Amino acid sequence: MLPYQTLEEAASALGRNLTFAETLWFNYSASKSDYVLYLHNILFLFVIFSVVPLPLVFAEVLSWAGLDRYKIQPKVRLPFSDMLKCYKDVMRMFILIVGPLQLVSYPSVQIIGIRTGLPLPSGWEKLFQLLVYFLVEDYTNYCIHRFLHSKLGYEKVHRVQHKYTAPFRFAAPYAPGHMVTFWSWSRLRPLKTRSGDDFPWRC
């Protein structure tokens, strides 16, 4: 929760007028606790995971030939019923595991110093923070994924991911800064996961 009661107090504390984005942030977050702001990530996770894949799911279902050239396995077509079952399975996992983990993981956000106050990070600061988030996440994901392909990890956990031999958008989850940067990362993260496509503009 911001320690200021009014925009004037916030501007006085910063020694300057608030930017447009900072004014929006103040109006939105001033009366919300840091924990409530952190819990927005659960909503972002559900909405982004459900909405972002839809264009490519529709392209797959409708067999838009123009996009086939970007598919990693262009001859493999999954029926919509399989995609829907995968979506339901992943959403069940989000509701039963990921959501509750988000509810109790707030202390880790405090420990690493994600803040909710003013000033907001500059564009360069936010870009640098996102780069660090992605590098740390990619490195830890690589290490965990190596373990999941060991005998113990594969047989007990990871074999579920390989149920879908042709990757597609809804199957992707089987695989320090400001709260707004954290929100951006949680929204960008699903866009970079394995989707079964290899568009030239994807990293």
Residue 18 predicted with pLDDT over 90 = yes
Cα 47 from Cα 25, distance rounded (Å) = 21
pLDDT score recorded for residue 128: 93
pLDDT score recorded for residue 160: 63
C-alpha distances in angstroms, 100 versus 33, 69, 79, 137? 19, 39, 31, 20
* Structure-model confidence comparison of residues 125 and 180, the more confident one: 125
C-alpha distances in angstroms, 119 versus 2, 113, 185, 189? 11, 15, 19, 25
Q: What is the mean pLDDT of residues 121-144?
A: 89
Rounded to two decimals, what is the model's pTM? 0.72
**Peptide bond between residue 119 and the one before it cis (omega within 30 degrees of 0):** yes
pLDDT score recorded for residue 184: 77
* Structure-model confidence comparison of residues 4 and 71, the more confident one: 4
- Using pLDDT thresholds of 50, 70 and 90, give the confidence band for residue 165: low
Of 21-35, 62-76, 173-187, the range with the highest mean pLDDT is 21-35
Q: What is the pLDDT of residues 69-128, one digit of tens each?
A: 887 787 778 888 988 998 998 899 889 888 898 899 999 988 988 899 999 999 999 999
Taking alpha carbons only, the member of 13, 52, 89, 5 closest to residue 190 is: 52
Contact status, residue 197 vs residue 167, Cβ threshold 8 Å: no
Instruction: List residues bridging with 115 in a β-sheet.
Output: 178
119: which residues sit within 8 A by CB, 6+ positions away? 14, 22
Task: Tell me the domain boundaries of the chain.
Answer: 32-192
Query: How many percent of the chain have pLDDT more than 70?
Result: 80
Residue 175 predicted with pLDDT over 50 = no
> Which of 51-55, 78-82, 169-173 bottoms out in mean pLDDT, i.e. has the lowest?
169-173
pLDDT score recorded for residue 86: 86
Residue 145 predicted with pLDDT over 90 = no
pLDDT score recorded for residue 153: 75
What is the amino acid identity at position 117? G
> Which of 4-8, 43-47, 66-70 bottoms out in mean pLDDT, i.e. has the lowest?
66-70
pLDDT score recorded for residue 187: 67
* Residue whose entry in the numeric block shows the structure tokens 């999954």: 78
pLDDT score recorded for residue 57: 86
